[in-house]
Amino acid sequence: MTDLSAELRERIENTIRFLSVDAVERAGSGHPGAPMGLARVAFEIWDQHLRFDPSDPQWPLRDRFVLSNGHASMLLYALLHLYGYDLSLDDLTRFRKLGSKTPGHPEYGDTPGVEVTTGPLGQGFANGVGMALAARMTRARFGGSGGPGGHFVYGICGDGDLMEGISSEAASLAGHLGLGNLVYVYDDNQVTIDGPTSLSFSEDVAKRFEAYGWHVLRAAGDDLQAVRNALEAAKTETGRPSLIVSRTTIGYGSPNRGGKSKAHGEALGAEEVKLTKQALGWPLQPEFLIPEDVSAYLSERIAAKKTAAAEANAALDAWRSAHGDKADAWDAGRENRLPADLSAILAAGLDGVDNPTRKHGTVVLERLLEVAPYLVGGSADLAGSAAPPILKGKGIVGPGAADGEDPFAGVNIHFGVREHAMGAVANGIALDGTFRPYCGTFLIFSDYMRPSIRLAALMGIDTVFVFTHDSIFLGEDGPTHQPVEHLDSLRAIPNLTVFRPADGIETALSWAWIVRHTGGPGLLALSRQTLQALERTAPFELEDVWKGAYTVQDSDEAPKVVLAATGSEVRLACDAAQKLRAEGVPARVVSVPCLSLLLEQAADYRRSLFPAGVPVVAVEAGRGQSLQVLAGTDGLIYGIDSFGKSAPFADLAAHFGFTPDQLATRVLTHVRNASN
C-alpha cells in the first residue's frame, strides 16, 4: 500500500467531498450526499486498486469502474479530475450546464473516463456484470502471461440500484457464472429520496447476495482498515463475485443534513455549506479548493499509474510476439474486421428459399460466426424456439461448458429468463470492446428490455437485438404474446436501426448492415411462420436492402398505387398487387425492411419509389403508425388497431384482413375514392 498519512488522506477525502459540494452548489441542483459519504471508499478503490492510464481512457487493459448510482456523478467527476483525466477544474464548475463534460448523470462518450451511462438505477450494476463477463471471455480466448482479459470491474451501487429488479436478474446471473473479477461496494446509507429506506426496503441484502452465490463482506465506510481488508479479500476471491456491504453516512460532515434524505437530491444551501466546511475543518474559500499537498500526492500517483500501465503494455507486447494468432484474433474483434464480400457470403443460396426469417437468421448467424468469431450471445431461455439459437460446435459459456473446456471460452450464453438483465449485460459486453454481443427473445418481451435498448442507442454502442415472433401470426399463444405496437415504439428510439426483413435475402443483408455499422445498436424483427421467398421482378442488387426500401415488383404501366410493406406482409402485398392488376389497377410493391435507412436517402430516391400524386398503402401486421410518413395524409395505413387473438395464424390472417383478397379489395376502394 502507498504510504499516506492520516492527515493527508483526510484532506484528499475532503477535497473529493467539497469539489462535489461546491459543484452542486454552483449548479443549484444535484446530489451532494452520496459523494460526501462515499469519499473514503471511492478514494481507496481508485488509489490502491484501480488500474488505469488517464492519458489513455480507452486503454484495453484498464480496470473498469462503474458508478451505478449515477446521481452521485460528482464523486466520479472529482476523481477523474484529481487523477489526471481530461476533465478540467473549469469543467467541474460547469456541472450540469449545457454542453459541459459534467452532465447530471455520467454519460458514456461525453466525459473521458466514464465507462458507462448510469442514469436509470440498476442499469450500471447489470452493465458491470457484462463487462466482467467480457473480461473472463477475453482471458479464456486470448489470455496468457501478459495477455488481455485480466482486468477487474469495480463498482459502487446504492439502495435504489438494489431495489430495481434488473439488479436481481444480473446478480443472479453473475453468481451463477462465478464472475470473480467483479467487485461491488453497496452504499448502505439507509436513505432514499422519500426518507429512510425502512419506508419501503427491509430485506437483508447480504443474505440475498449470498443466496445468489456471491462472496459477501461488510466494511463500515468510515473504517479505513475494514474497507481495505474487504477490498483485498474481494480481489483474492476468484470464483465468486464480491459484494462489500458498506454502511456510510449520506451527507457526511453536514451538521443538519448528514444522514437525512435532504442530503440526497438537492444542494446543501450556502449556510449549510459553510457549517459543513467548518465542521470538517475546511477553508470557506476558495471554492473548488485542491490543497497543494493533495495535488502533489496525486501527481505522484498519476505517474505511478502510468508507469504500471507502461509495464503492462510491455508485457502485452511480449504476449503478442509469443501468440501472434491470438493477438491477431483479439485485434480483429476490437477493430470489427469483416470481409469485403460479407453480403455475398451471408446471402449465398438463400434466394428462393421458403423459411421463417428466424430460421434464415440462424443460417446467417452461423455463417457470420465463421468470418467474425468475436460475436457472442444467446437468448432468454428461448434458444429452441427463437433466434438467436444455440450454435452447434461453438461452446457454452458458464457451467454448461463441456468437460475439460474453459467455461468462458464459448460463444453461446444462456441468459435464462432474465430479459432486462440480458439486454444490459449484452451492453456491458459491448462496452468492454472485444466482443460484439447479440441477444434476443420474442418481440413482445422487448417491453422488458426497453430501458436497456434505449441506453444502447443513447450510448451509441453496437449491441445486436434479435427478436422473433414479430407479429400476431405467432398464433395460438394469443394477445399476451402477439406484438402490435412494438415496431412503432422501437422505431421511435433515436439511433436504433430496426430491420424487419421479408425473406432470406433481406435477413442476410440486414445482418450484414448491422455488423458493419458502428455507433449504435441494430435490431432484427423476425417471423415465426414460414414466409415464401420474394420474387423480385424489378431490378435489384443486394445492397438495395441498405437503402431501407426498394421496388420488389412493378407493373408495365405507371403505378396507380404503391403498396409499401414490411416483413411477412411484403409477400402479401405482392399477391394483392397481382389481383389489383387484374382489376386494371397497376400496382407497385415496395419492400421497406428498414424505415430509418429509407428516410436517410436522398429525396430523389424516395420519389422514385413513391411518385408524387400516387396513393400509398402501407401494410404491416401491427399498428403501423410509423409508416404514416410514407402514406402521407392521403394514403392508407393497413394495419391492426386492436390486440391480437388466440388462434392458428391462418385464421388470424382472415380475421384481421391480412389475405390477398381482403387487402386488394380495401386498396381498390381506397384508390377509387382517391380518384373521385
The catalytic residue positions are 419
Question: β-strand 191-192 against 195-196: which pairing, if any?
Answer: antiparallel
Dig out the grid coordinates for 3 from the structure: 504510504
Helices 33-48 and 224-236: angle between axes, nearest 10 degrees? 50
**What are the b/e assignments for 557-572, b being 16+ CB within 10 Å?**
eebbbbbbbbbbbbbb
Helices 324-335 and 123-142: angle between axes, nearest 10 degrees? 150
Beta partners for residue 577, in sequence order: none
Distance in angstroms (rounded) separating the CA atoms of residues 313 and 327 = 13
Amino acid at residue number 483: P
What's the alpha-carbon Rg for the chain, to the nearest Å? 28
Q: How much helix, strand and coil, in percent to the nearest 5, is found in the chain?
A: 45, 10, 40
Distance in angstroms (rounded) separating the CA atoms of residues 125 and 205 = 15
Q: Are 552 and 591 in contact (CB under 8 A)?
A: yes
Q: How far apart are the first and last CA of the chain?
A: 86
Distance in angstroms (rounded) separating the CA atoms of residues 259 and 187 = 13
Dig out the grid coordinates for 128 from the structure: 458491470
Distance in angstroms (rounded) separating the CA atoms of residues 294 and 299 = 9
The closest of 460, 666, 445, 420 to 563, measured between CA atoms, is: 666
Distance in angstroms (rounded) separating the CA atoms of residues 25 and 78 = 14
The SS3 call for residue 546 is: helix
Residue 447 Cα distances to 119, 484, 491, 621, angstroms: 19, 12, 13, 18
Q: Are 527 and 361 in contact (CB under 8 A)?
A: no
Q: Are 498 and 595 in contact (CB under 8 A)?
A: yes
Q: Are 169 and 417 in contact (CB under 8 A)?
A: no
